[in-house]
Amino acid sequence: MSEVQAKLAAIVDDSRAAINIGSVAGVDKGDRVTLFRTVEVTDPDTGESLGSVDVEKLHLEVELVQEKMCVAIVTDLFYGDDEPTDLMSNLLRPKRRKRLALNVARGDKRTVKVAIGERARVELVGDESQG
C-alpha cells in the first residue's frame, strides 16, 4: 500500500472534508485519509526548537474522487463519557460519527477542530490488489 501526502482543502459539511489531491495522484474511492495536527516541541530551558511531532487527529474514507481533489467522510465514531461501554451496549447503540469544524464550542467532545491546509495522508488502498 502506498501513501500520498496532501492537505485539507475545505470542509464540505460536518462529516466530510475536501482533500487537495484526486485521481491524477492515484486516489480512488475507499482510500483512507488521516488528518494530523503538528505539535512543535521546544526545549523548556533554552526555548530552542527540538522539532515537531505529527499526531493523528481524525480518520476518513474517500467517497468521491475528481481529477484534482477528493471528498472523504469521517469514519471515527463518537462515544460519550456517560454512555455504557459494554459489548451489548456498543452493538445496540446508534453509530455516531465524530464531526469536524473550524471552530469548536467549549465542552464539545464530539467535534474535532481542523484547519484548512493541515497535513493529510492518503493511503491508496487500491494499490494492495495491484501489487
Q: For a pLDDT cut of 70, what percent of the chain falls above it?
A: 85
Q: Which domain holds residue 114?
A: 2-41+50-126
Residues in Cβ contact with 24 at an 8 Å cutoff, skipping those fewer than 6 apart? 67, 68
Backbone angles phi, psi at 88, to 5 degrees: -65, -40
What's the CA gap between 42 and 36, in Å, rounded? 19
On whether the CB atoms of residues 5 and 25 are closer than 8 A, the answer is no
Residues 7-55 pLDDT 10s: 999 999 999 999 999 999 999 999 999 999 999 999 999 999 999 999 9
Q: How confident is the model at residue 67 (pLDDT cuts 50, 70, 90)?
A: very high
Residue keyed to cell 460519550: 80
Residue at 7 is within a domain:
yes
On whether the CB atoms of residues 59 and 76 are closer than 8 A, the answer is yes
Residue keyed to cell 493541515: 118
pLDDT of residue 131 exceeding 70: no
Residue at 89 is within a domain:
yes
Residue 82 is inside which H or E element, if any?
A: none
Residue 67: give its domain's CATH number. Answer: 2.40.10.410
Residue at 54 is within a domain:
yes
Residue at 63 is within a domain:
yes
pLDDT of residue 104 exceeding 80: yes
Residue at 131 is within a domain:
no
Backbone angles phi, psi at 92, to 5 degrees: -90, -25
What's the CA gap between 131 and 114, in Å, rounded? 34
- Judged by phi (left if over 0) then psi (alpha if -120 to 50, else beta), residue 51 lies in left
Residue at 67 is within a domain:
yes
Residue at 32 is within a domain:
yes
What's the CA gap between 60 and 100, in Å, rounded? 11
Residue at 66 is within a domain:
yes
How many structural domains is the chain composed of? 1
